[in-house]
Structure 1
Amino acid sequence: MNLSIIRIGPTENRSGMQYHAQYSLRSAGMANTRTRTLLAILLVFAIMLPLGAVGQAEHASVVQNEVSIVDSRGVVVSLPRYPDRIISLSPNITETLFALGIGERLVGRTDYCDYPSETQYIESMGDLFTPSIEKIVSAAPDLVIISNLGQSQTIDAIETAGIPVAFIDEPGTMEGTFRIIEQVGAITGTESQAKKIVLSLQETLEAVESKLSPEVHPTVYYVAGFGEWGDFTATGDTFIHDIIVSAGAVNIAENAVNWSYQLELILANDPDIIILPPMWGSTFEQTRTEFVNHPSYSSLTAVKQDRIITIDSNLMERQGPRSAQAVQQLAQKIVDILR
Structure 2
Amino acid sequence: MKKLLYFLLFINFLNANERIITLSPAINEIAFALNLGDKIIANTEFCDFPVESKNIQKVGGYGSVSLEKVVNLNPTIILNQDYDKKLNQSLKDLNFKTLVYKTNSLEDIKCTIEDLGDVFNKNEEAKKLNNEIEHSLESLKNIVENKKVLIVISPQNSLSNQIFVAGNFVYFEDIIKASNNINAYQSSLKSQPSINSEKLITLNPDIIILLAPFLENDKITQEKYINMWEKLPTNASKQKNIYIIDKLYSGIPSHRIRYFIDDFKGILEDVRAKKL
Global fold match (TM > 0.5)? yes
CA contact (8 A) 2:44 2:58 kept: yes
CA contact (8 A) 1:168 1:183 kept: no
Which runs of 5 or more residues in structure 2 are unaligned?
none
Deviation at 1:88, TM superposition (A): 0.9
Q: Distance in 1 between matches of 2:101 and 2:138?
A: 26
Deviation at 1:62, TM superposition (A): 5.7
Residue 98 (structure 2) pairs with residue 165 (structure 1): yes
CA contact (8 A) 1:243 1:326 kept: no
- Structure 2 counterpart of 1:154, from 87, 97, 102: 87
In structure 2, the partner of 1:255 is: 187
Aligned-pair identity in percent equals: 21
Deviation at 1:118, TM superposition (A): 1.9
Residue 48 (structure 2) pairs with residue 119 (structure 1): no
In structure 2, the partner of 1:286 is: 221
Cα deviations across residues 40-75 of structure 1 (Å, max 9, x unaligned)?
Answer: xxxxxxxxxxxxx98x67753465569xxxxxxxxx
Residue 38 (structure 2) pairs with residue 99 (structure 1): no
In structure 2, the partner of 1:195 is: 127
- Structure 2 counterpart of 1:129, from 60, 63, 73: 63
SS of the residue 2:150 aligns to: strand
Alignment of 1:28-107 (within 5 A): 59-61=6-8, 64=11, 81-82=14-15, 84-107=18-41
CA contact (8 A) 2:201 2:232 kept: no
CA contact (8 A) 1:93 1:320 kept: yes
Q: Distance in 2 between matches of 1:113 and 1:251?
A: 30
CA contact (8 A) 1:244 1:327 kept: no
SS of the residue 1:331 aligns to: helix
Residue 159 (structure 2) pairs with residue 230 (structure 1): no
Q: Distance in 1 between matches of 2:124 and 2:145?
A: 38
Q: Distance in 2 between matches of 1:157 and 1:186?
A: 25
Deviation at 1:243, TM superposition (A): 2.0
Deviation at 1:276, TM superposition (A): 0.8
Q: Cα gap change, 1:299/1:206 in structure 2, threshold over 3 Å: closer, same or farther?
A: closer
Residue 216 (structure 2) pairs with residue 271 (structure 1): no
Q: Cα gap change, 1:159/1:285 in structure 2, threshold over 3 Å: closer, same or farther?
A: farther
Q: Distance in 2 between matches of 1:285 and 1:89?
A: 35
Q: Cα gap change, 1:208/1:299 in structure 2, threshold over 3 Å: closer, same or farther?
A: closer
CA-based RMSD of the aligned residues comes to 3.0
Q: Distance in 1 between matches of 2:219 and 2:61?
A: 24
Residue 79 (structure 2) pairs with residue 145 (structure 1): yes
Cα deviations across residues 255-297 of structure 1 (Å, max 9, x unaligned)?
Answer: 35322243333101221221012265785643652564379x6
In structure 2, the partner of 1:73 is: none
SS of the residue 1:276 aligns to: strand
SS of the residue 1:146 aligns to: strand
The TM-score, its normalising length taken from structure 1, stands at 0.68
Deviation at 1:328, TM superposition (A): 2.0
In structure 2, the partner of 1:208 is: 140
CA contact (8 A) 1:87 1:106 kept: yes
**Greater mean alpha carbon deviation, residues 134-143 or residues 305-314:** 305-314
- Structure 1 counterpart of 2:147, from 197, 206, 218: 218
In structure 2, the partner of 1:45 is: none
Q: Distance in 2 between matches of 1:96 and 1:288?
A: 33
* Paired amino acid for 1:169: K
* Paired amino acid for 1:106: I
The TM-score, its normalising length taken from structure 2, stands at 0.82
Structure of higher CA gyration radius: 1
Cα deviations across residues 214-267 of structure 1 (Å, max 9, x unaligned)?
Answer: x63322211124545412100111122222222443210133532224333310
Deviation at 1:147, TM superposition (A): 0.7
SS of the residue 1:111 aligns to: coil
Residue 265 (structure 2) pairs with residue 331 (structure 1): yes
Q: Distance in 2 between matches of 1:57 and 1:237?
A: 43
Q: Cα gap change, 1:323/1:230 in structure 2, threshold over 3 Å: closer, same or farther?
A: same
**How many residues matched?**
266
CA contact (8 A) 2:151 2:208 kept: yes
Residue 113 (structure 2) pairs with residue 181 (structure 1): yes
SS of the residue 1:163 aligns to: coil
